């Protein structure tokens, strides 16, 4: 299979925190700058899990610029859309937004979010796309693209894609070709598989459109890593009991609205999870991995591990490069991994869902902490560490040279004790073996020896910094090391 990997250094988004002083009334944290612009297309009510995904999304609305919340159809709900269900969640958000602001600046007003709710195409698939079929949802996408904002516009698709298809149809039919090309180049699309025939039409009609998707049946989706059981690992944080105790019960009106799992927990959440600025992901580089999984740019034919189709949505052979499933390996540890490296012979999990599995406890704990923010004061909850590298996030070293990576200056807004774990993310750049540290990887400053290379190669190193608060929270930094002969 041909792979084309994009390996350009991006800037790492970092949270800016207030000083780690144990003040009596701590000030809220500053919200990040340069937030990703996000429009959500959701077939809310086709499955309770869209409501779950919205509740989590709102807890990160301080870190994203939400620009549209659009109700759509899908193969599971072909003739109805439910914008009122989005408004109902926003009513609960309105009750907790003042308390969220005690923790972090930037949570939008409820009125601002209500003004983003739109109706998308009222029926199923491409039959609802064409001349004269614009909807408030499709118009919102066009208007957002035409705003003079240099940032990419990210479309997070949790159901069918035909409202996006209508927006691009209208742009193609009504704008000069060079304008259409410029507008479409601003789009970054992530769809949760193909839940109507709009996705295949979009990819065929707009070959340059940035598109992440796991085509195929439920079994083929990277996104299923958010709720599938990991064999041999502790799956507590996706259990019904964990959701009851950490999200649903005793955590105020937004948590109370979180529905029980019907088919799978939050199958749509991976469509935005990597947009949250944790220091781990760069949304411009899906192959770098993040909470929402890791993806590679495949040139056709795009592999699918399950060609059985998605509930009646036919799979159309891909004709252009598309971002899709990547295989990751990792060792799940029953205890928190700090202080214990994988031992030789310890079972490694190698799977297209592992790009989500490997971070799952961390993003679940983060969700629990933010839900606690909805009811409790700053001093009674936990806030994530602030990772600080002692060197640039891009280094160049010679084959065989030792180099030191350090996050020694990291801090925590609650004054919590911190744990560190450095590791080489070996799948990025397709290293055959991981570059191991000569010393324990669970201290803030670790040295490595560059392997011998015959041409320049990049290796990605991640530091996980986890506090000892309740629940423990993790942030990351990524260092890209170019190794030269
Ligand atoms: Ca959905
Ligand atoms: Ca903390």
From ligand 1's centre to the CA of 237, what distance in Å?
21
* Domain 385-485 CATH superfamily: Immunoglobulins (2.60.40.10)
**pLDDT(134) > 80:** yes
Average pLDDT, integer, range 307-332:
79
Ion ligand 1 neighbours (CB, 5 A) are 43, 50, 158-159, 268
Average pLDDT, the chain: 89
Average pLDDT, integer, range 439-456:
90
From ligand 2's centre to the CA of 368, what distance in Å?
13
From ligand 1's centre to the CA of 144, what distance in Å?
22
**pLDDT(309) > 70:** no
Q: Residue 86: what pLDDT?
A: 98
From ligand 1's centre to the CA of 462, what distance in Å?
32
Render pLDDT for 109-128 as a digit per residue (tens, 0 to 9).
999 999 999 999 999 999 99
Render pLDDT for 360-411 as a digit per residue (tens, 0 to 9).
999 999 999 999 999 999 999 999 999 999 999 999 999 999 999 999 999 9
From ligand 1's centre to the CA of 348, what distance in Å?
31
From ligand 1's centre to the CA of 268, what distance in Å?
6
From ligand 1's centre to the CA of 50, what distance in Å?
5
Which ligand is in closest contact with the Cα of 268?
A: 1
**pLDDT(37) > 60:** yes
3-state secondary structure the chain: CCECCCCCCCCCCCCCCCCCCCCCCCCCECCCCCCCEEEEEECCCCCCHHHHHHHHHHHCCCCCEEEEEEECCECCECCCCCHHHHHHHHHHHHHHHHHHCCCECCCCCHHHHHCCEEECCCCCHHHHCCCCCCCHHHHHHHHHHHCCCCCCEEEEECCCCHHHHHHHHHHHHHCCHHHHHHHHCCEEEEECCCCCCHHHHHHHHCCCCEEECCCCCHHHCHHHHHCCCCCCCCCHHHCHHHHHHHHHCCCHHHHHCCCCCCCCCCCCCHHHHCCCCCCCCCCCCHHHCCCCCCEEEECCCCCCCCCCCECCECCCCCCCCEEEECCEEECCCCCCCCCCCCCCCCCCEEECCHHHHCCHHHHHHHHHHHHHHCCCCHHHCCCCCECCCCCCCEEEEECCCEEEEECCCCECCCCCCEEEEEEECCCCCCCCCCCCECCCCCCCEEEEECCCCCCCEEEEEEEEEEECCCCCCEEEEEEEEEEEC
From ligand 2's centre to the CA of 385, what distance in Å?
6
Q: CATH 3.90.245.10: which residues of the chain?
A: 37-328
Which ligand is in closest contact with the Cα of 266?
A: 1
Instruction: State the pLDDT confidence band at 437, using cuts at 50, 70 and 90.
Output: confident
* Domain 37-328 CATH superfamily: Ribonucleoside hydrolase-like (3.90.245.10)
Q: CATH 2.60.40.10: which residues of the chain?
A: 385-485
């Amino acid at each position: 299979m041909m792979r084309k990997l994009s390996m350009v250094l991006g800037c790492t988004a970092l949270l800016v925190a207030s000083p780690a002083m144990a003040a009596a009334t701590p000030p809220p944290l500053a919200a990040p700058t340069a937030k990703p612009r996000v429009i959500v297309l959701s077939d809310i009510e086709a499955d309770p899990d869209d409501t779950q995904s919205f509740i989590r999304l709102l807890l990160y609305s301080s870190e994203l610029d939400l620009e549209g919340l659009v109700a759509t159809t899908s193969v599971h709900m072909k003739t109805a859309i439910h914008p009122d269900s989005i408004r109902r969640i926003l009513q609960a958000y309105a009750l907790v937004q003042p308390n969220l602001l005690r923790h972090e600046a930037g949570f939008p007003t409820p009125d601002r979010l209500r003004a983003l709710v739109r109706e998308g195409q009222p029926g199923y698939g491409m039959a609802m796309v064409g001349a004269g079929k614009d909807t408030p949802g499709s118009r919102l996408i066009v208007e957002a693209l035409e705003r003079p904002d240099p940032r990419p516009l990210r479309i997070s698709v949790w159901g069918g894609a035909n409202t996006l298809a209508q927006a691009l149809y209208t742009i193609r039919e009504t704008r000069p070709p060079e304008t259409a090309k410029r507008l479409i180049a601003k789009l970054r699309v992530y769809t949760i598989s193909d839940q109507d025939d709009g996705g295949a039409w979009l990819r065929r009609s707009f070959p340059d459109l940035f598109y992440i998707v796991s085509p195929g049946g439920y079994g083929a989706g990277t996104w299923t890593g958010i709720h599938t059981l990991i064999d041999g690992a502790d799956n507590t944080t996706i259990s019904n009991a964990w959701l009851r105790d950490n999200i649903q019960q005793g955590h105020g009106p937004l948590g109370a609205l979180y529905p029980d799992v019907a088919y799978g927990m939050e199958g749509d959440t991976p469509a935005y999870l990597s947009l949250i600025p944790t220091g781990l992901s760069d949304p411009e580089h899906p192959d770098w991995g993040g909470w929402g999984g890791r993806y590679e740019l495949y040139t056709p034919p795009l592999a699918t591990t399950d060609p059985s189709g998605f509930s009646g949505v036919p799979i159309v052979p891909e004709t252009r490069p598309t971002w899709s499933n990547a295989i990751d390996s990792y060792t799940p540890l029953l205890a928190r991994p700090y202080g214990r490296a994988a031992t030789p012979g310890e079972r490694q999990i190698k799977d297209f869902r592992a790009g989500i599995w490997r971070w799952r406890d961390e993003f679940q704990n983060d969700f629990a902490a933010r839900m606690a923010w909805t009811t409790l004061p700053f001093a009674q909850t936990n806030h994530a560490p602030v990772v600080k590298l002692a060197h640039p996030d891009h280094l160049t070293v010679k084959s065989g040279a030792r180099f030191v990576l350090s996050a020694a200056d990291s801090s925590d807004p609650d004054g919590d004790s911190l744990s560190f774990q450095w590791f080489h993310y070996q799948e990025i750049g397709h290293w055959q073996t991981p570059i191991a540290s000569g010393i324990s990887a669970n201290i803030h400053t670790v040295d490595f020896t560059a392997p011998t290379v015959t041409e320049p190669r990049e290796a990605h190193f991640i530091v996980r910094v986890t506090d000892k608060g309740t629940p423990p929270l993790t942030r990351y930094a990524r260092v890209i090391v170019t190794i030269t002969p």
